[in-house]
Amino acid sequence: MASERNGDGGKERAGENGNGGGVSLELPEIRYTKLFINGAFVDAVSGKTFETRDPRTGDVIASIAEGDREDVDLAVKAAREAFDHGKWPRMPGSERGRIMMKYADLVEQHAEELTLLESLDAGKPRTVTRVVDIGTSATSLRYFAGAADKIHGETLKMSTQFQGHTLREPMGVAGLIIPWNFPAIMFFCKVAPALAAGCTMVVKPAEQTPLSALYFAHFAKQAGVPDGVINVITGFGPTAGAAIASHMDVDMVSFTGSTAVGRLIMEASARSNLKPVSLELGGKSPLIIFEDADVDLAVDLSISANFFNKGEACLAASRVYLQEGIYDRFVKKLADRMESWVVGDPFDPRVNQGPQVNKEQYEKVLSYIDHGKREGANVLTGGKPCGQRGYYIEPTVFTEVKDDMIIAKEEIFGPVMCLMKFRTVEEVIAKANDTRYGLAAGVVTKDIDVANRMTRSIRAGVVWVNCYFAMDADCPFGGRKMSGFGKDASMHALDKFLAVKAVVTPVYDSPWL
């Protein structure tokens, strides 16, 4: 696999590769590499930059401004001014919705350029990125644009000589810290409801995938979002991210990422101004397949649930529990299916799986695969790196996995599937819940009674029956236990950006209470 700089304003042409054939296309010019503060692109105060790299090759894509505490201070100041004295929170919800619809139009109009950027920066297959990542981003904007004028309070029927009502008011300045696995989706998963609620915000994209957030900032200004409402600080978690989490003038934080960093976010909140925190964290989700299941469907779902987005998904069902009666048929069909799975350049339309996002994640996943081998799990498929350059890993399926193995307990965040057997419903409920996580689960069965029992018994934020990754703007998404709290989709997502205020007045000489 190779890529070649053309010397034409930063454009690049993707060429032959060793992981799925040759592709040739002109990649977009990287136009935005600076911080976005108060409606303008600016250098970091320190003048520092960092490199974002192409996971296909390890080559540098661009140098990006490295924001730090001083830059966060400037961004928060701009957001504070825009909230306290600007027009965004004071606009009718219908006007905010109109601007958000125009914002969605711009995302759709530039969908091809954004798709190439996202695929380049994150190693995502181009065909999937266009439909899923960029398509979902525009859909999220439109969904919350429609919600902007539908934020209502309640009338309170008080028991004494008083009457009351509630107001749902924007929280203020929101700190939004997004992950690297779905940069575009997670940007709008947080930005869209914050905009609808009337908040202003400081967004920190992941340092591994900063490019699309800067383009989205530019489109926000074009759409008519006032200066200071959306600010984007590119940089590192321990510096820029920590500065947002601990800032005394940030009113709430929404974070998606690892459980370990989620703890740090909560600690920073407690030590600063006790700002509310919403966390969407790690997962080790079970996919439970009963012996009455359609084997072909079960195999398809397990592949999607584990290898979609090269396994870099908090929802990945990396614990696949198979009832004993279906185990052998499932394993055979799965092995056959994986023979046609293509790992390679994400710009090649024949490719199913691109590279891991960077060298660090690549090495982390390979270390988990080594753990599985040492612990005695059997490698059914994969188990090795592949390709001559870049961060490619064969999709790996382990059989004979035990519940106490590291690969069965810890989030791997890579293309690794663990197969385990069970006998009874009671046994698999206990196994499914025997984890510190509670993000998602899947159940495959034709028995409605079994399906109902499983969905009521599994402690997770979402349970899919005979499907997986069935996501929608109107479907709440968020976890339980150490997978976090708060929702990042549906009307529930507005809750974290709104404060509830009760208003009470006396009622004199009312004929009724």
Residue 351 has a pLDDT of 96
Mean pLDDT in residue range 377-392: 95
Mean pLDDT in residue range 239-252: 98
Question: Tens of pLDDT along 341-360?
Answer: 999 999 999 999 999 999 99
Residue with tokens 């409605």: 448
Residue 4 above 80 pLDDT? no
- Write out the E strands in 228-316: 230-232, 252-256, 277-280, 286-289
Catalytic annotation present for 280? yes
Residue with tokens 């993000």: 439
Residue 11 above 90 pLDDT? no
HEC per residue, 334-356: HHHHHCCCCECCCCCCCCCECCC
443/329 Cα distance (integer angstroms) = 18
Beta bridge partner(s), residue 14: 3, 25
Mean pLDDT in residue range 215-243: 98
Question: Tens of pLDDT along 222-233?
Answer: 999 999 999 999
Domain 286-474: give its CATH code.
Answer: 3.40.309.10
Residue 24 has a pLDDT of 63
Question: What pTM was computed for the model?
Answer: 0.93
* CA atoms within 13 A of residue 322's CA, in its CB half-sphere: 26
Residue 8 above 70 pLDDT? no
Q: What is the DSSP string of 141-168?
A: HHHHHHHTT-----EE--SSSEEEEEEE
Using alpha carbons, select from 179, 75, 68 the residue that is nearest to residue 411. 179
**Token couple for 52:** 């974002």
Using alpha carbons, select from 281, 330, 317, 297 the residue that is nearest to residue 415. 317
By the 10 Å C-beta count (0-12 exposed, 13-18 middle, 19+ buried), 437 is classed as buried
Contact 164, 147 (CB under 8 A): no
Question: Tens of pLDDT along 463-483?
Answer: 999 999 999 999 999 999 999
76/247 Cα distance (integer angstroms) = 8
79/200 Cα distance (integer angstroms) = 5
Angle between helices 135-147 and 183-197 (to 10 degrees): 10
**Contacts with 170 (C-beta within 8 Å, 6 or more apart), sequence order:** 83, 89, 197, 198, 199, 497, 498, 499
Question: Tens of pLDDT along 30-50?
Answer: 999 999 999 999 999 999 999
Q: 510: pLDDT confidence band, cut at 50, 70 and 90?
A: confident
By the 10 Å C-beta count (0-12 exposed, 13-18 middle, 19+ buried), 510 is classed as exposed
Q: 26: pLDDT confidence band, cut at 50, 70 and 90?
A: confident
Report which of residues 7 and 163 the model is more confident about: 163
Q: Dihedral sign, CA of 399, 469, 113, 192?
A: negative
Contact 209, 159 (CB under 8 A): no
Question: Helix or strand or coil: residue 315?
Answer: coil
**Contacts with 504 (C-beta within 8 Å, 6 or more apart), sequence order:** 156, 158, 162, 163, 164
The pair phi, psi for residue 214, each rounded to 5°, is -70, -35
* Domain range summary for the chain, segments of one domain joined by +: 35-276, 286-474
Residue 5 above 60 pLDDT? no
Residue 512 has a pLDDT of 79
Question: Helix or strand or coil: residue 23?
Answer: strand
Residue 17 has a pLDDT of 43
The pair phi, psi for residue 359, each rounded to 5°, is -65, -40
By the 10 Å C-beta count (0-12 exposed, 13-18 middle, 19+ buried), 127 is classed as middle
Q: 160: pLDDT confidence band, cut at 50, 70 and 90?
A: confident
Residue 56 has a pLDDT of 95
Q: What share of the chain is helix, strand, coil (3-state, %, to 5)?
A: 40, 25, 40
End-to-end CA distance of the chain: 76
Mean pLDDT in residue range 250-267: 97
Residue 2 has a pLDDT of 28
Residue 102 above 90 pLDDT? yes
- CATH fold for the domain made of 35-276: Aldehyde Dehydrogenase; Chain A, domain 1 (3.40.605)
Question: Tens of pLDDT along 430-461?
Answer: 999 999 999 999 999 999 999 999 999 999 99
Rounded alpha-carbon distances, angstroms, from residue 410 to 118, 186, 243, 405, 443: 28, 23, 29, 9, 21
Each residue of 325-362: b (16+ CB within 10 Å) or e?
ebbeebbebbeeebeebebbbbbbeebbbbbbbbeebb
Rounded alpha-carbon distances, angstroms, from residue 237 to 68, 80, 245: 10, 22, 10
**Selected catalytic residue, list 118, 280, 394, 411:** 280
Q: 487: pLDDT confidence band, cut at 50, 70 and 90?
A: very high
Provide the Cα torsion 271, 272, 274, 277; round to 10°.
Answer: -90
Residue 400 above 70 pLDDT? yes
Question: Tens of pLDDT along 306-340?
Answer: 999 999 999 999 999 999 999 999 999 999 999 99
